[in-house]
Amino acid sequence: MLTIKNLTKMYDQNVIFKNLNLTVKEGEVLSIVGPSGIGKTTLIKIMAGLEPANSGEITINNEAISIDGERSDANIGLIFQDFNLFPNFTVMDNITLAPINVNKVPAEKAKEQALSLLESLGMADKADLYPYQLSGGQKQRVAIARALAMSPKILAYDEPTSGLDESSTKQVAEVVKTLKSRGVTQVIITHDQFFAEIVSDRIFDFAKEVVR
């Protein structure tokens, strides 16, 4: 379970959000919606340890995680808007690089795990391709597999449907549902109300619930 308590983020004197409170239950899919530029991405970056918050608290399963922006523990997997795959590695290596180098998983085991992740995402035949050879939707699934390979406690998406056509959007929705059925807790940042409604258990309206 993820709990955010009284989280405040300011740039200089500019309040992005103030005393934000939010809970995501185990296995839940929560969408955070709101217009662009409102601070949703900032929130997800703070959760992932990429940006510091000014005050407040984030806990995962009642354990506080640091919010100084210096954390680097793969507790929260993040699917970036433009995926940020590593162009110099194949799909397989993109997925196994972190398990092998960070978690010291034996290469063979990491490969097996990556292959089963790719299979579950319908991408097993793409293991030896490089990112530039993939479509947007395929890159996204590689990004999902790469994040899941580190067994994060929460999987977060930043605008997963931006730049995708209708059929790719449906595929993302399928992936989210498949992962939900496997018990993965997911947080989705989106301005796509329709997508949010079809995939989430609960919608958090950033504009309404956040004090600025």
Interface residues with another protein (CB under 8 A)?
Answer: 48-50, 72-74, 76-78, 80, 82, 84-89, 97-98, 101-103, 130-132, 146-147, 150
Beta carbon of residue 51, minimum distance to another protein (angstroms, whole number): 10
Task: State which residue, 118 or 147, has the beta carbon closest to another protein.
Answer: 147
Task: State which residue, 53 or 74, has the beta carbon closest to another protein.
Answer: 74
Task: State which residue, 15 or 98, has the beta carbon closest to another protein.
Answer: 98
Calpha distance 141→143 (Å, rounded) = 5
Beta carbon of residue 197, minimum distance to another protein (angstroms, whole number): 27
Beta carbon of residue 146, minimum distance to another protein (angstroms, whole number): 7
Task: State which residue, 146 or 191, has the beta carbon closest to another protein.
Answer: 146
